[in-house]
Structure 1
Amino acid sequence: MTIALTGVGFRPLTVPASIDADDAADFVEMMRVRNIVYAEIAGNDDEAMTPEALLPHYQPDPDETRHMWLVIRDGDVVGRVGVDIPHETGSKNAYWLIEILRAHHGAGIGSRAYDLVEQTAREYGRTVLQSWAEHPDASGERLTAPTGFGDIPRDRAARFYQRHGYALEQIERKSVLDFRTAMPLVEQHHLDALAASHGYRVVQWQAPTPAELRDGYAWVKSRMSTDVPAADMEFDEETWDAERIVRHDQRYLDGGQTVLVTAAQHVGTGELVAFNELVVGADRTAATHQEDTLVLKEHRGHRLGMLVKCAGLKTWHAEIAPDSPRVITFNAEENRPMLDINEAIGFAPASYSAGWKKVLA
């Protein structure tokens, strides 16, 4: 589908079977532009990914439908537009992004791209549209989250959301841990957490998840959609099973990424009750990304969050990616228990992102 705008069009992204395929050029160019946009916002390359790493995540997926368009201006790719449609039964949600190179801001491209977002959501009968954006700190007017935790500048991105009828719902903190200075604190807090977590043991594995752990891992993964602070953002309760874990792991492996899962297992029942994930790409000198971390509600109060984080960081730094300089993670600003853990072991705030929501008539 192409929408008319002088010199501007939107071309559906071709997702190749491999980066070596004859039709891979658009995907490679999309990734190049994506990485530039992220660097322009953050001022560094910590969010950069290779086409090889991200391509598996764009292959057909029984759990969601992913739409992506290239933004073309005068023959050049200058951005991308994405809409994700989850397949959970009864879902009302659609998730979207619009990313455009800074040199092309102010031309009306974003608003025309948003027309495509809303059109696609309506085609699927979705009425709850949600999106996230990083808002680097700046002077001037500020917006406070309705949770009462955190604020952001009313910058270009915030004004764009508001102009299109979106409400600010939640603020997330991006935190960074410097491996060069953090390990003594990690070691001490790991010992303290071990002493406080009687009745639990640490279980670790690198993807692919061993067959005997898939069901337990699937259960705690499913609780990420129900047990973390969500403010007034709306998330479907996700269904995870062993087969979905296999698909999840394989996407990372196909992209040349390394995943370490550190879990807490209840000794009495054998159930996994907490977990933490660390991920790095083929270049293990790049930044590490800490992805999901969760302690099941009924097992909180035993320092299991500290236990799985510190045990994971120790193994990661000693055995898997000793040359990775830092770890990046995101948490809701109102998630004080998890932020307390992060701050105690040396994570420092780096920037803030906001969750935005609109409900269609």
Structure 2
Amino acid sequence: MLEIVTVDPFDDAAADGWWNAYAEARRADMGEHALVWTREERRAQLQQPSATTEERAYAALQDGAVVGSASLTLSLKDNLHSAGIGVNVPPQHRRQGVGTALLAHVEAEAIAAGRTTMRVDILWPASAPADGTGQPNREFARRHGYEIAIGDLQNRLELPVADGVIDSLLAKTPASDGYDLHSWRGPVPEAFVAEWAALDAVLDTEAPTGDLDIEAASADVGDLRDDEALLARQNRTSFGTVAISPDGAVAAYTQIVVSGDDGNAYQWGTLVRREDRGHRLGMRVKLANLRMLQRESPRTPRIYTFNAESNEHMLAVNTRLGFIPTARLAELQKKL
């Protein structure tokens, strides 16, 4: 008999079984291009209390063995109408109703929390059709009423990028009068943190959103500092760069996070303030941050990033840097 239980993240055996099912499913679907949060990264995320986000984990048990895992993410300050859902079933347990049971259980939990918009992210190889036709996870989601709200590309950059290449790109990106760049490793300096938080909060709505039912996040320095504390617990290191405008404001920011567990770097947010666009600041801050990363973390082998397929400008920036597409990610949505 199939049983679905809530996972206690402080119970090592339960959390390990949950993570193993997640990781096995991801690796089966994506092979060498699978990006899997490490066991300790996910455990730290589930264990840390947060004022902004509630994270729940669920496991499907068959005769006491974990045959599938699921997650539920609930924002506590904004987007109170939506829920983030994840369902992962290893190949040997598929087509037995495990995924359907997990999805129904998590949706019911989301509804009980007052959520009416369900969001799911799924990936498939870059060689597959752009709409995911024929991919098991896409067909499963379609059967359960989830449609693509926006499509993204997963891209990878092998490191190091030669200094000459960076210099050449900088030469094609003339410095704009009056803008200064500042880069650092670790937490955001106090001088920039309030404006960094404000830019980061609107990233999801300033970037292409397709049909996503989403609103801007809250900008709170205390919440940002809590997120930085979580990064430290996850053995992750942040590298940040900002462009400061002539009026002294943060005009653009970018962030790369390196996992101390898997060794890879992940490009997080990059955004230029509306009134400062047109000065090629996005490319400039990314190049400065890349140069710092390679200086401070020379053994980092590669960077991964995700961008909406409709975000032609950022994709062009990434192509010039040398990123290549390795997978597709679809942000799915269902309104109840």
TM-score range, shorter chain: over 0.9
The Cα shift of 1:209 comes to 2.0
2:115 corresponds to which residue? 126
Deviations 1:268-326 (A, max 9, x none): 2221121111111224x72211111111222111111101111111110122x211211
Pick the aligned partner of 1:34 from 5, 13, 22: 22
Number of residue pairs matched by the alignment:
335
Pick the aligned partner of 2:291 from 305, 309, 314: 314
User: CA RMSD of the aligned region, Å?
Assistant: 1.9
Change (3 A) 1:349 1:72: same
Q: Is the aligned partner of 1:231 residue 2:220?
A: no
The Cα shift of 1:107 comes to 0.7
Q: Is the aligned partner of 1:12 residue 2:1?
A: no
1:49 corresponds to which residue? 37
Pick the aligned partner of 2:226 from 222, 226, 247: 247
Counterpart amino acid of 2:335? V
Contact 1:227–1:296 at 8 Å: present in 2 too? no
Aligned equivalents of 1:229, 1:137: Cα separation in 2: 20
Aligned equivalents of 2:275, 2:131: Cα separation in 1: 31
Task: Provide TM-score, normalisation by structure 1.
Answer: 0.87
Contact 2:184–2:240 at 8 Å: present in 1 too? yes
Change (3 A) 1:186 1:74: farther
Q: Is the aligned partner of 1:190 residue 2:170?
A: yes
Pick the aligned partner of 2:72 from 83, 103, 117: 83
Counterpart amino acid of 2:6? P
Pick the aligned partner of 1:280 from 258, 261, 278: 258
Moved more, 242-251 or 90-99: 90-99
Contact 2:18–2:69 at 8 Å: present in 1 too? yes
Pick the aligned partner of 1:100 from 86, 89, 109: 89
Contact 1:177–1:348 at 8 Å: present in 2 too? yes
The Cα shift of 1:181 comes to 5.3
Change (3 A) 1:47 1:137: closer
Change (3 A) 1:78 1:280: farther
Pick the aligned partner of 1:326 from 302, 305, 315: 302
Structure 1 unaligned blocks of 5 or more: 1-5, 17-22, 143-149
Change (3 A) 1:163 1:183: farther
Contact 1:68–1:82 at 8 Å: present in 2 too? yes
Q: Is the aligned partner of 1:111 residue 2:100?
A: yes
2:324 corresponds to which residue? 348
Aligned equivalents of 2:104, 2:283: Cα separation in 1: 44
Change (3 A) 1:112 1:338: same
Deviations 1:321-342 (A, max 9, x none): 2112111000000000100100
Aligned equivalents of 2:278, 2:134: Cα separation in 1: 38
Structure 2 unaligned blocks of 5 or more: none
